[in-house]
Amino acid sequence: MARKDQIRQKAQALFRERGYRATSMRDLAETLGMEAASLYNHISSKEELLQQICFAMADQFFEAVEPVVASPLGPKEKLRAAIEAHLGVIAASADASAVFLHEWRHMGEPFLNDFKLMRRRYEKMIRAIVEEGISLGMFRKIDPSLVVRTLLSGTNWTYESYKSHRLQGKLSEQEISEITSILVEGIITR
């Protein structure tokens, strides 16, 4: 079991660095000091690795953001808290987040469809905050779907922050707060 976790961790790093299709099972085995065939004592297929990474991250995002949505905060504070929670998940699992964001399309059915449905549900959850804010006159009247995509997309670079020249290491609490602020302030009515 511990071995399987090691495999998954290395798979996350390689899938993120090179992409799922460009990572061979031989590559993965090599980083673990074993032969490719030996991997199959711990996993059943390459795609199973991808599925587990993607759906485990989906769980993480929901676990972080759902309590915020259920909270009694007002739209502005709720949206801020949701984006901060979302950023916190990426910061906590940068490799797996990058795989979640970019490699999911290489899953086969029926997992692919499940994944798309899950993502739709996630966006819908955040969209509800935006819609409430608009209806209360606190947020600008802009297509909520467009708003949510811009918000989430604006966070999607952060998994690579630790590789950047200027922004090395994990994002600090303050940086997470600043990114959130940039995104949320652009939506608030003046």
Partner DNA sequence: CCTACCGATCGGTAGG
Interface residue with a second copy among 142, 162, 163, 173 (CB under 8 A) is: 142
CA proximity to 100, closest of 173, 31, 20: 20
Q: What is the three-class DSSP state of 139?
A: strand
Partner interacting with residue 137 (select from a second copy, DNA, none; CB below 5-8 Å by kind): none
Neighbours of 9 (CB within 10 A): 15
Partner interacting with residue 146 (select from DNA, a second copy, none; CB below 5-8 Å by kind): a second copy
Q: What is the smallest separation between the CB atom of 18 and a second copy, expressed in angstroms?
A: 8
Quick check: 164 binds a second copy (CB under 8 A)?
A: yes
Quick check: 155 binds a second copy (CB under 8 A)?
A: yes
Q: In the numeric block, which tokens belong to residue 183?
A: 């995104």
Task: Name, in order, each residue with C-beta under 8 angstroms of 53's C-beta and a sequence gap of 6 or more.
Answer: 8, 11, 12, 15, 96, 99, 100, 103
Quick check: 112 binds DNA (CB under 7 A)?
A: no
Q: Report the amino acid identity of residue 101.
A: L
Distance CA 138, CA 147 (A): 14
Q: What is the smallest separation between the CB atom of 72 and a second copy, expressed in angstroms?
A: 25
Quick check: 119 binds a second copy (CB under 8 A)?
A: no
Rg of the chain on CA atoms, in Å: 18
H helix and E strand count, the chain = 9, 0
Q: What is the smallest separation between the CB atom of 33 and a second copy, expressed in angstroms?
A: 25
**What part of residues 21-80 is at the interface with DNA (CB under 7 A)?**
23-27, 29, 32-38, 40-42, 44-47
What are the residues binding a second copy (CB under 8 A)? 18-19, 21-22, 102, 105-106, 140, 142-143, 145-147, 149-157, 164, 166-167, 175, 178-179, 181-187, 190
